[in-house]
Structures are given as structure tokens and as C-alpha cells.
Amino acid sequence: MEAAEPHQSKGLLASLCGLGATLIAMMHTRLALLGVDLEEDARHLFLIAKLMLITLFCFGLAVVLLTILISVIFWDNHRILVLSLLTGFFVLSGIVIGQYTHKKIKQKPTLFSSSLTELVKDWQSLDIHAKDAS
């Protein structure tokens, strides 16, 4: 009887060590995937911010120059009407573009979506193995 107990003890200990090693390996993989997700998201945000600043600068300069050009063309006859129409157009354009930007921000994929998907798969796999063991 005593001879069987040390064998069971080593088997249980080895099994627990194997389980621990598996869990650590899974966590390592998930943390690495999380790091990749963070890096990709940071690059994406930086690129978007840079492109938006360049775009805003170019369009801002174009808007100012266009407004000055149109105002000079109509200065003698309808300067107040033209300036009012241009102001209304720019306000309306800003509202439409702001709503479009808000929509695009909401459509961005969930942060860590691939990591969360893998964690769900791991959880389901562990759940299946736990049910099989019962």
C-alpha cells in the first residue's frame, strides 16, 4: 500500500506541474498577443493622427484662400451675402464631417479583439476538458 502512494503522489505532482506549465505557456502566448495588439493599435492611431493633421492643414489653407478669393471677386456687389453663404457652408461642412468622423470612430474594431477571441477559445477548451474529466 505504501508503495502505491509515492507513485500516485509523483503522478499527481507531475500532473499539477504539467498543468502549471501549460497555464504559464498560455498566459505567455496571450500576453505576447496582447503586446502585438497594443503595438498595432498605437501605430494605427499615430498614422491616423499624422494624416489628419496634414489633411487639416492643407484643407484649412485652401479654405482660407478660397474664401479670400471669392470675397475679392464679389467685393463690390454682394460681399455680405457671399461671406454669409461661405460661413454657412463651412459650418455645415464641419457638422457633416464631424458626424462622419464620429461614425468612423465607433466602427473601429474592439481593442484586443484577437486576444479576447483566443482567451474565449482557451476557456472553452478548458471547460471541455474539465467536463471530460468529470
Annotated domain spans of the chain: 4-133
Q: Is a pLDDT exceeding 80 seen at residue 131?
A: no
Between 119 and 72, the higher pLDDT residue: 72
Task: Give the pLDDT band (50/70/90) at residue 36.
Answer: confident
Give dist(CA 38, CA 112) in Å, integer. Answer: 8
Mean pLDDT of 44-66: 89
Residues 6 or more apart whose CB falls under 8 angstroms from that of 132 comprise none
> What are the Cα distances from residue 75, in Å, to 69, 79, 124?
10, 5, 72
Mean pLDDT of 15-24: 82
**Amino acid 133: pLDDT:** 61
Cell triple for residue 9?
503522489
